[in-house]
Amino acid sequence: MSSSVGSLTISQLKEAYLKGSLSPTDAVSELINEIEARDSDIRAYISIDKESALESAKNADISKPLGGIPIAIKDLINVEGQNCSCASQILKNSYTSTYDATAIYKLKSNGAIPLGRVNMDEFAMGSSTENSGFHITKNPWDLSRIPGGSSGGSAACVANDTAIASLGSDTGGSIRQPASFCGVVGLKPSYGTVSRYGLVAFASSLDQIGPITKSSKDAALLLSAISGKDSLDSTSIDNHDKDLLSKLDGNISGMKIGMPKEYFTDGIDSEVLKCVNNAIKNLQDLGAEIIEISLPHTEYAISTYYIIATAEASANLARFDAVRYGNRSPDPENIIDHYIKSRSEGFGPEVKRRIILGTYVLSSGYNDAYYVKAQKVRTLIRNDFKNAFDKVDAIISPTAPTPAFKIGQMSKDPLEMYLADIFTIAANLSGICGISTPCGFVDTSDGKSIPVGLQILGPPMKESSILRIADAYEQSTDWLSIKPYR
Amino acid sequence: MSDSSIDVKYVANLARLDLNEEEIQDFTKQLNDIISFVKQLERVNTTNIEPTSHANAVVDVIREDKLRNGMGSDAALKNAPDQNNQQFKVTRVVE
């Protein structure tokens, strides 16, 4: 199995192409075979557009930075000619993209091949991929557990070696948390770094596209390819480094890393804490200086997030009116009935819940009390990070307070699931960047070993710092070489 | 903040959603739990604090006033659930 195409990193596959030991056509067709043989238990994929991938492989230019490299795409990013369904029944087989998202356009310009659409929580709303309108994706390390979410498919396919790398999106931790639960690397860029054009919007002030990979080096390669200011997204920023990889020199001597005292409290699973504490020792051995810091408004982050994210979602999802695209309910009585029936039949429960909550917090009489109040607290949370980054280069924590939970364990209580996002959501509220990289394993009571993720947060536009720390850590451990299958 | 609980059926209708009895019951409990939780924000002093609507404040992003091609009506209509005469066809709006 170790020689399978799917087990390669981007760098290794590039090397194989340049040496001539593998051609893009052989690699892509072999990878498709591997997906067909090995995805049936995990179900990371929703669909694979074989013909177009093979066609692109035939014409691949391996001299380009990502020439001939297949990348799995989360089902809410538009790829021209493919069904973009956001894992929702409202778009199933009823919306074919007529254009490429900017991130896809850039991937293709750099030679990469979009290969397969991967599962997610419907419209990216969830932390487990259980909210997919199609099927549940399982965690490759333990099939009774969730892969995390909302980019659960993007993380599971990389962990299961049925993808070289993937794109996900992160609104409150949706790249970092599944990467943590699946034992792979997930990077959420600073807000605006990757254009949101062609990313189906969940919460526009929080959404970012980012890579899920088998190493921080691969994450650097992918981010260099997809980042940059875009006239089609007026919130995009000029944060493009075409050679991030060269910044990953393994040297973190003298870097200051903050440990927020509000994060290291009773809420963390003791085994997770052990892994993170070991990682901190490791970083000290590599020459980093660990400093205790304070993020005083941490306890308000979840409330702030779920008000702002649902408010934005309720506005964004108003566009699903079954007029221009999407599944229309047959024989409505009038136009209002047309909207109500099509939306009620098409959206799943979590999406409805969030639209209703968002509509409520924006409704007359409540707007100031909830939405505007949350925006003000957002300012305070952002200031916490600004102050912290005056003292440190990066901030470290567990990515999630626990390892992956059991399928069904939290599905009856949405609030409990929301509370588990505590360490990831503040980064989206503040617009800073963050990465999750594996830092150990926890033994479960039923004899499985499941991964734990270390989160490293950095100031806006300092992806090079957090990637350098994560890469230096990866070089000093071998977590990424451990595979979920034998 | 008000202490009234959420009228799920009423708010759902504002968002053009219709819920069955079971959904109304479940959502009422779940959303009231969430709303009681987020009311913790009342404790935060936000006097003189400006609201943040975006992580990066962008002002007046403009482009050159030059004609650009759109996607064209064929592409725009490609996913239409129903169409007629190069236009989207919808359920009768005016009685």
Question: Within an 8 Å CB–CB cutoff, is residue A475 touching chain B?
Answer: no
Contact status of B80 with chain A (Cβ, < 8 Å): yes
**Band (B1; pLDDT cuts 50, 70, 90):** very low
Closest alpha carbon to A168 in A178, A180, A183: A178
**Mutant choice from B5, B16, B21, B84 vs A, greatest count of A C-beta within 10 A:** B16
Identify whether the C-beta of residue B86 lies closer than 8 Å to the C-beta of residue B78. Answer: no
Mean of the pLDDT values across residues A458-481?
Answer: 98
> Among this protein's residues, is A174 annotated catalytic?
yes
Task: Give the model's confidence band at B5: pLDDT under 50 very low, under 70 low, under 90 confident, else very high.
Answer: confident
A107 — pLDDT class (breaks 50, 70, 90): very high
Q: For residues B57 and A196, which has the higher predicted lDDT (pLDDT)?
A: A196
The number of angstroms, rounded, from the C-alpha of B56 to the middle of its chain's C-alpha atoms is 22
Which residues are CB-neighbours of A193 under 8 A, at least 6 positions away? A208, A223, A227, A236, A237, A239, A240, A433, A461, A463
Can you give the pLDDT at residue A1?
A: 43
Q: Which of A186, A142, A175, A188 is nearest to A41 (CA)?
A: A142
Q: What average pLDDT does the structure give for chain A? A: 96
- Does the pLDDT of residue A442 top 50, yes or no? yes
Domain ranges of chain A: 5-296+382-481, 298-379
A382 touching chain B per CB within 8 A: yes
Q: Which residue has the higher pLDDT, A414 or A361?
A: A361
Which range among A93-102, A178-187, A295-304, A477-486 shows the weakest confidence by mean pLDDT?
Answer: A477-486
Nearest neighbour of A325 by CB, restricted to B51, B54, B79: B79
Distance CA A398, CA A401 (A): 6
pLDDT band at residue B54 under the 50/70/90 scheme: confident
Q: How confident is the model at residue A449 (pLDDT cuts 50, 70, 90)?
A: very high
- Chain B interface, mutation test: which of A82, A324, A345, A425, most B Cβ atoms within 10 Å? A324
Instruction: Kindly list the distances between the CA atom of residue A77 and the CA atoms of A96, A178, A199, A288, in Å, as whole numbers in the listed order.
Output: 11, 18, 5, 37
**Chain B interface, best mutation among A314, A360, A361, A383, by max B CB count within 10 A:** A360
Length of chain B: 95
Catalytic residue among A56, A128, A132, A150: A150
Whether the CB-CB separation of A195 and A231 falls below 8 Å is answered with: no
B-chain CB neighbours of A339 within 8 Å are: 16
Say if residue A195's pLDDT is above 70.
yes
Helix (H) or strand (E) holding A170: strand A166-170
Residues 81-110, chain A: which have Cβ within 8 Å of B?
Answer: 94-96, 98-99
Whether residue A188 is predicted with pLDDT greater than 50 in this model: the reply is: yes
Q: According to the model, what pLDDT value does residue A342 have?
A: 97
Cα–Cα distance measured from residue A81 to residue A52, given in angstroms and rounded to the nearest whole number: 9
| Nearest-by-Cβ selection for A300 from B44, B58, B76 | B44
**Which ipTM value was assigned to this complex?**
0.94
Q: Is A304 within 8 Å of B12 when comparing Cβ atoms?
A: no
**Spacing of C-alpha A268 from chain mean position:** 22
CA–CA dist A156, B46 (Å, integer): 41
pTM of the full structure:
0.97
Query: Is A303 in CB contact (< 8 Å) with chain B?
Result: yes
Instruction: Tell me the C-alpha to C-alpha distance, in Å, between residue A116 and each of A76, A163, A283.
Output: 12, 9, 37
User: CB distance B30–A349 less than 8 Å?
Assistant: no
Query: Can you tell me the mean pLDDT for A200-227?
Result: 98
Q: Are A315 and A440 in contact (CB under 8 A)?
A: no
Q: What is the pLDDT of residue B59?
A: 80
* pLDDT tens-digit readout, A378-393: 999 999 999 999 999 9
**Residue A215, pLDDT score:** 98
Cα separation, A156 vs A38, in Å, equals 12
Residue with more model confidence, B1 or A164: A164
- Is pLDDT above 70 for A25? yes
Give catalytic status of residue A85 as yes or no: no
- Which of A127, A166, A159, A163 shows the shortest CA–CA distance to A143? A159
Any idea of the CA torsion for A226, A227, A231, A237, to the nearest 10 degrees?
160
Is the separation of the CB atoms in A117 and A95 below 8 Å? no
Instruction: Tell me which residue of A185, A173, A145 sits closest to A419, measured CA to CA.
Output: A173
pLDDT at A33 over 70: yes
Residue B86 is predicted with a pLDDT of: 94
The CATH classification number of A5-296+382-481 equals: 3.90.1300.10
pLDDT band at B4 (very low <50, low <70, confident <90, very high): low
Tokens coding A34: 């591997």
For residue A374, pLDDT over 80 is answered with: yes
- For chain B, positions 31-70, list CB contacts with chain A under 8 A: 31, 33-35, 37-38, 40-42, 44, 46, 49-56, 58, 61, 63
